[in-house]
Amino acid sequence: MSDIDYLYSQGDRLEERNTYFYSQYHGAAFFPAWRASRQTALAQLPPAQPVPLAVAAERDEHPADTAALLANLLHTTPEAPERRLAKRLLQRFEVSKRLHRRYDMNFKAVADSGYDDLDLYLQFAALCLHQAEQPGALPFLNGLLKVVDSLISIHPRLSPPQGAQLAWLITAEQDWVARVAAQANVELAP
């Protein structure tokens, strides 16, 4: 167990959003706390199943429908020109810690479209993983950590298939963090 509490995945993080601003620095003690939060969640989730890829949709002139945008981005190669749209969606999530069903031409959330479609968060996390091997992917790891925090915080609302997808995402997130740590010669304390 850890000497610190990992509060980022506690509470309802879709309603009581994390800001991550001015987070206290815990050094190496942070990793066991983060890992413990993930292990606690995994113990409550069904066996892991990958997030299924949605069927790609016809493209609009602008990325208004988030589900269609995510489906299209997950069906393109991560280095495709559409990566700029993935970066825009990541930026919108980083600002609000929410994914709305629709965005306007300027990537502003259409407020009455709602932000409670949990499949969007699972697909967005899969998109972050889709970018993992690209140069400059660390912002997507950052987004993945935050969306997984949000999903863990509301895991009782997930259906069994969604819970299994979250379990898969947690495992993939841990693998990515371990790869980054190994590349940086940082030992993750058990």
Q: Which residues of the chain have pLDDT under 70?
A: 1-2, 18, 20-26, 58-63, 189-190
Distance, CA of 71 to CA of 106 (rounded, Å) = 20
Domains in the chain, number: 1
Tell me if 2 is assigned to some domain. Answer: no
Bridge partners for 103 per DSSP: 109
Q: Is residue 189 part of a domain?
A: no
Instruction: Please tell me the predicted confidence (pLDDT) of residue 179.
Output: 95
**What's residue 93's pLDDT?**
94
Which range marks the domain in which residue 121 is found? Answer: 7-183
Give the separation between CA 126 and CA 170, rounded to whole angstroms: 11
Of 92, 44, 73, 84, nearest in space to 100 by CA: 92
pLDDT (0 to 100) of residue 23? 66
pTM of the model: 0.91
CA distance 109 to 115: 9
Contact present, 114 and 147 (Cβ < 8 Å): no
Q: What is the pLDDT of residue 115?
A: 94
* Structural domain contains residue 67: yes
pLDDT tens string 148-172: 999 999 999 999 999 999 999 999 9
Residues with Cβ within 8 Å of 89's Cβ and at least 6 positions away in sequence, in order, are 63, 66, 69, 70, 73, 99, 103, 107, 124, 127
Let me know if residue 190 belongs to a domain.
no
Could you read off the pLDDT of 123-144 as tens digits, one per residue?
A: 999 999 999 999 899 999 999 9
User: Considering the domain boundaries, does residue 119 fall inside one?
Assistant: yes
Distance CA 58, CA 115 (A): 22
Residue 38 lies in a domain: yes
Contact 163, 155 (CB under 8 A): yes
